[in-house]
């Protein structure tokens, strides 16, 4: 397991920006060999910043670093004969090909799905688009901010006006869904002996995480609005001011509510708050009662008392706090890699661990995000000698 559960899988990554690179990186985190094919100009995200780090003549985008660990980089001009020949050689040996070109672009380059499967019938092809590979808006470009709005997530997020999530969640979810689909297709290939096409999109990722907000409309006929910092269906469940920093409380059951009442001296028989539907209907009054109590002490005081009472609660951590938190470190969520120009750098790692291996993603060593074309020579040499 030290090499990861996908250590026998070869992935050709034709993607750029974030959704596709995220999918390929997740496969690499699990041990797959990922060869990232870049145009001579490189992945767009290599120029996304600031911040940039490293020597002035070799500045590296921290955005690119976030989505391209555990990959090799080769540069190919896919409009040239040489570029097409090298890609054909890679496809013949690959288990997976990931692409997130606009619909029809790969076909025009001479690598339609039919052609890819002529080269390698066992190939699993992952295609990630903005709005789906078919339908009336299939050819729209896919950008996270647009997808968050078009996919409804922004209509649920914020307090006074629609707000995007603080990370490119549409891209990230599309990548996660894509990696999930690839693993399923690889499993199926053991039975069938042939690969298939896996398709997902930024739009699909957004709709797929509507969860209970989606069924509020599809089943109950309610159009959800901005959720703000409080749960629309549970109370108290949200962010509350204290004498210092805000804290979060999650009373997801009647028993937890009664524990909170006992700890804070609230009358559990108050008809406004007797049941969860009552508390949701009178949320503003409930928030006012709680914040009046919480104003008397700082956040740490209340977090200690709530923990003692068994009421789920927590602080709102900044990222510097998260990455130095003992619990984060105990879960091996950070990895150290050796970068050609940056030296030892620390990156957020895989979210997965396996029961017999403490390492992130199940692999003991991880590769730093590559320099542009760093593996041109080694990959071409390998192709010339590989069976």
pLDDT in tens, 184-227: 999 999 999 999 999 999 999 999 999 999 999 999 999 999 99
Helices 299-309 and 254-264, axial angle in degrees (round to 10): 120
Q: Percent of the chain scored above 70 by pLDDT?
A: 99
Residue 242 above 60 pLDDT? yes
Residue 2 above 80 pLDDT? no
Average pLDDT over residues 23-27: 98
CATH classification of the domain holding 348 = 3.40.50.10540
Average pLDDT over residues 299-325: 97
Q: Show which of 315, 335, 351 is a domain's final residue.
A: 315
Confidence of residue 1 (pLDDT cuts 50, 70, 90): very low
User: What sign has the CA pseudo-torsion 342, 344, 348, 349?
Assistant: positive
User: In 3D, which of 50, 80, 87 has the Cα closest to residue 65?
Assistant: 50
Task: Kindly list the distances between the CA atom of residue 97 and the CA atoms of 21, 80, 195, 375, in Å, as whole numbers in the listed order.
Answer: 12, 20, 11, 18
Number of domains in the chain: 2
What digits encode the pLDDT tens for the residues 363-385?
888 999 999 999 999 999 999 99
167 within a domain of the structure (yes/no): yes
Give the sheet arrangement for strand 247-250, strand by strand. Answer: 237-240, 247-250, 313-314
Could you give the 3-state DSSP secondary structure of residue 271?
A: coil
Residue 358 above 80 pLDDT? no
171 is catalytic: yes
Give residue 205's pLDDT. 98
What digits encode the pLDDT tens for the residues 261-288?
999 999 999 999 999 999 999 999 999 9
Average pLDDT over residues 356-369: 84
221 within a domain of the structure (yes/no): no
Shared-domain flag, residues 20 and 157: yes
d(CA 190, CA 136): 35
Residue 236 above 50 pLDDT? yes
Residue 355 above 90 pLDDT? no
Is beta strand 72-75 parallel, antiparallel or unpaired with respect to 343-348?
A: unpaired
228 within a domain of the structure (yes/no): no
3 within a domain of the structure (yes/no): no
Shared-domain flag, residues 153 and 84: yes
What digits encode the pLDDT tens for the residues 109-153?
999 999 999 999 999 999 999 999 999 999 999 999 999 999 999
Q: Which of 29, 95, 171, 270 is labelled catalytic?
A: 171
**Residue 149 tokens, joined:** 């709005």
Shared-domain flag, residues 146 and 282: no
310 within a domain of the structure (yes/no): yes
Q: pTM for the full model?
A: 0.94
Task: Kindly list the distances between the CA atom of residue 239 and the CA atoms of 165, 220, 224, in Å, as whole numbers in the listed order.
Answer: 17, 27, 19
Helices 81-93 and 376-385, axial angle in degrees (round to 10): 60
Average pLDDT over residues 61-90: 97
Q: Show which of 276, 294, 315 is a domain's final residue.
A: 315
Give residue 208's pLDDT. 97
Shared-domain flag, residues 117 and 42: yes
Q: Return all residues near 74 (Cβ < 8 A) that are at least 6 apart.
A: 35, 36, 37, 38, 86, 373, 375, 376, 379, 380
Shared-domain flag, residues 257 and 344: no
Shared-domain flag, residues 311 and 360: no
Shared-domain flag, residues 168 and 272: no
| DSSP state at residue 363 | B
Shared-domain flag, residues 306 and 349: no
343 within a domain of the structure (yes/no): yes
Q: Show which of 263, 284, 315 is a domain's final residue.
A: 315
51 within a domain of the structure (yes/no): yes
What digits encode the pLDDT tens for the residues 147-173?
999 999 999 999 999 999 999 999 999
| Radius of gyration of the CA atoms of the chain, in A | 25
Shared-domain flag, residues 59 and 185: yes
Confidence of residue 361 (pLDDT cuts 50, 70, 90): confident
Domain range enclosing 176: 10-209+327-385
d(CA 108, CA 86): 17
Shared-domain flag, residues 47 and 161: yes
| Average pLDDT over all residues of the chain | 95
Shared-domain flag, residues 182 and 59: yes
| H helix intervals, 127-266 | 144-150, 169-192, 202-208, 211-218, 254-264
10 Å Cβ neighbour count for 154? 19
172 within a domain of the structure (yes/no): yes
Shared-domain flag, residues 251 and 380: no
């Amino acid at each position: 397991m030290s090499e990861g559960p996908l250590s026998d899988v070869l992935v050709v990554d034709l993607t750029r920006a974030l959704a596709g690179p995220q999918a390929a990186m997740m496969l690499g985190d699990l041990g797959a060999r990922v060869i990232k094919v870049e145009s001579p100009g490189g992945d767009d995200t290599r120029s996304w910043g600031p911040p940039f780090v490293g020597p002035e003549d070799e500045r590296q985008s921290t955005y690119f670093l976030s989505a391209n660990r555990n990959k090799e980089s080769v540069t190919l001009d896919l409009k040239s004969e040489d570029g097409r020949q090298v890609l054909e050689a890679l496809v013949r040996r690959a288990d997976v090909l990931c692409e997130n070109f606009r619909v029809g672009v790969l076909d025009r380059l001479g690598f339609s799905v039919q052609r890819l499967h002529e080269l390698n019938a066992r190939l699993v092809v992952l295609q990630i688009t903005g709005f789906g590979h078919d339908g009336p808006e299939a050819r729209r470009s896919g950008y996270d901010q647009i997808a968050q709005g078009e996919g409804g997530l922004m209509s649920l997020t914020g307090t006074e006006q629609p707000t995007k999530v603080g990370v490119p969640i549409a891209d990230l979810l599309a990548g996660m869904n894509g990696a999930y689909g690839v693993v399923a297709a690889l499993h199926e290939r053991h039975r069938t002996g042939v690969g298939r096409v896996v398709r997902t999109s930024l739009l699909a990722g957004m709709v797929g995480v509507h969860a209970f907000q989606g069924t509020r409309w599809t089943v109950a006929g309610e159009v959800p609005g901005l959720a703000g910092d409080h749960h629309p269906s549970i109370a108290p469940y949200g962010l509350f001011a204290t004498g210092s920093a805000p804290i979060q409380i999650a009373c997801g059951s009647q028993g937890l509510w009664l524990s909170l009442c006992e700890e804070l001296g609230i009358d559990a028989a108050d008809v406004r708050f007797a049941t969860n539907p009552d508390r949701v209907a009178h949320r503003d009054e409930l928030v006012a009662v709680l914040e009046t109590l919480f104003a008397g002490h700082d956040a740490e005081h209340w977090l200690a008392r709530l923990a003692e009472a068994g009421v789920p609660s927590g602080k709102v951590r900044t990222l510097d706090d998260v990455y130095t938190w003992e619990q984060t470190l105990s879960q091996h969520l950070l990895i150290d890699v050796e970068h050609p120009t940056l030296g030892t750098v620390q990156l957020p790692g895989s979210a997965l661990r396996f029961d017999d291996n403490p390492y992130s993603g199940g692999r003991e060593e991880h590769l730093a995000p590559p320099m542009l074309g760093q593996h041109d020579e080694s990959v071409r040499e390998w192709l010339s000698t590989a069976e």
